[in-house]
Structure 1
Amino acid sequence: MPSSVQDIMLIGGIPALISFQVPRALFRGVFVGLNAEVDFFASTVAGLEPQGQAALRSFFTLCQNNRRSPLRLSEDGQKNYLLEEIYEQMVEPARRCGIDLYDVVREQVQSFQPGGGDAAPAILLSL
């Protein structure tokens, strides 16, 4: 089933826009709110989660090695992160799906911390 442009997958607490690349017959995820474009591909929706986790872990390691924040600052001139604004827009659609966005984010972020244990499952939202 092809994914729409408005499908979002939360992996590690970071939203990724999911689209279907027709010519290549692949699903593509692009994380939003990060200070670089981090994307990942899979032939199935189920395959996106491990690919996204691997891409996110690699990006976090790169940022840590370069001593830079992985998060993009908001463009409104404040010291807020763009990710905070994205979360605000996702709270209500997630609630309508029976999901407490911040509980999911807290659970997923823990698994990306040192000693955090197994990765929390990704969440797919159609917005």
Structure 2
Amino acid sequence: MSRFLLAIALLAPATAMAAPGGVPELPPYQMRAAQPAGDRLQPGRDPRAVFEHSCGYCHLAGGMGTNLLTKQMMMIKRPPSDGLLTNRRDLTANYVKAVVRGGKGAMPAQTRVDLTDAELNAVAAYLAQKPAKGKK
């Protein structure tokens, strides 16, 4: 009986802190996007959808990867918007692939189970496709 009362006492503050009207929606970086349709081992899947599914929980707005990169960008006098990988104009496909497979800083290396070679090629091309600032 005392365990039951202890459990209720521990849960009571959490219940009192719940938002009015129910549970608030999670921010986008905490919601993993749906896996895009198609064979993970074959090219041709939507690269943006692959990025959002496989990388978004860290690299969408508010994610830990974005927050860390934003801090780094600001330290080297670059705009905070460069913390979002999709805003970067200095990424090459080879660099993206090297960081994804080898890891960097707080980012762990991603295996071929996490992100297949076809998916990595799509994401790398997606992030590297933007022309450098001032060039078109």
Q: Given the two structures, how large is their TM-score scaled by the length of structure 2? A: 0.28
Q: Relative to total residues, which structure has the larger helix share, 1 or 2?
A: 2
Return the index of the structure with the highest Cα Rg.
2
Q: Relative to total residues, which structure has the larger strand share, 1 or 2?
A: 1
